[in-house]
Amino acid sequence: MLLKVAIIVLIIYIIVVTRSRIRLPNPALRATVDVLQAATLKDEHVMQMARKYIDYADAQNALLPLDDPYAERLDRLTSRYVAVNGVPLNFRVYKTAQINAFATADGSIRIFSGLMDLMNDDELMAIVGHEMGHIRNSDTLSAMRKAYLTSAARNALGGVIGSLSGSQWGSLAEKLAGSQFSQGQEYAADDFSFGFLQRNGYDPYAMASALEKIHRTSQRKDGQADAILQLFSTHPDSFSRAARMRAKADAAKALPAA
């Protein structure tokens, strides 16, 4: 037992103090190394990884140019929002029928054109506010850290600061795309969006109606219903979340005017 503890202490020393790359044949010890490597990642390293990840993601998707009508609409709606919780924001559109949006820890928010087709301006800003909430609450930072821990990218200690291979980026992207926020994280991001809508003069019911549209579309028996599955994979339980946000808007409406 004492020998095992001594080995673990030695591993921690090597990783934290020297940050050297070590190779252990024992899978259990190697797993310990992987966990400790991820645990010692500083937030700035994760942010650096997020910036490099979004470059990879943009290159892998149909990133629309800034003069495209979709991009111009998004810019018209979002240009005044430059940062959240000190993290600078940037917005771009992917041309795809999928109905989705996502944010990364570095402040990048990517909106899919299929989502923009489905939403009016206020509803679209409700989704934007939700993604801003995930950034503000550091959910995206935690998700990137977890994706690194569970992907092939974890096998390169210098991968956060140096360059990962294409297969390592692909593994990281797969883990990040398949990750889910907890119900508490989703509710907190919804609440942030609700406040965002109120503060900026948007329809307070916009988050509820956006989620209701997503739910209705998912019930259809056509290609658009298939496209919605991507949104459900990362934003679960849209029906109950819509009811919660509608009740929140009803309660705010019932309050006496200040």
pLDDT tens per residue, range 46-94: 898 899 999 999 999 999 999 999 999 999 999 999 999 999 999 999 9
Residue 5, token pair as written in the block: 């503890």
Question: Does pTM surpass 0.85?
Answer: no
Distances, alpha carbon 232 to alpha carbons 31, 39, 146, 184, 237, in Å: 31, 29, 20, 16, 8
Arithmetic mean of pLDDT, 164-184: 82
In this structure, the number of other CB atoms found within 10 A of the CB of residue 57 comes to 21
pLDDT category at 249 given cuts 50, 70, 90 is very high
Q: Return the pLDDT at 191.
A: 97
Per-residue pLDDT for 15 more than 50? no
Give the C-alpha separation, 171 to 180, whole Å: 16
pLDDT band at 239 (very low <50, low <70, confident <90, very high): confident
- Which of the following is catalytic: 131, 174, 186, 212? 131
Structure token digits, residue 163: 């360059």
> Which helix (H) or strand (E) is 87 found in, with range?
strand 87-88
User: Is 5 a residue whose pLDDT tops 70?
Assistant: no
* pLDDT at residue 243 greater than cutoff 90: yes
Pairing of strands 108-112, 90-94: parallel
* pLDDT tens per residue across span 199-223: 999 999 999 999 999 888 877 655 5
β-pairing, 87-88 vs 101-103, is: unpaired
* Mean pLDDT for the stretch of residues 178-184: 84
> Residue 196 pLDDT more than 90?
yes
pLDDT at 115: 95
131 catalytically annotated: yes
Backbone angles phi, psi at 88, to 5 degrees: -65, 140
Question: Do residues 7 and 118 lie in contact, with contact meaning Cβ atoms separated by under 8 Å?
Answer: no
> Over the stretch 92-138, which tens digit does the pLDDT of each residue have?
999 998 888 999 999 999 999 999 999 999 999 999 999 999 999 99
- Return the C-alpha torsion angle 142, 199, 233, 216, nearest 10: 170
Phi-psi region of 257 (alpha: psi -120 to 50; beta: other; left: phi over 0): beta
Instruction: Please enumerate, as own/partner, the contacts of 30-38 that have beta carbons within 8 Å and a separation of 24 or more.
Output: 32/8, 34/149, 34/154, 34/155, 35/149, 36/11, 36/12, 37/154, 37/157, 38/145, 38/148, 38/149, 38/154
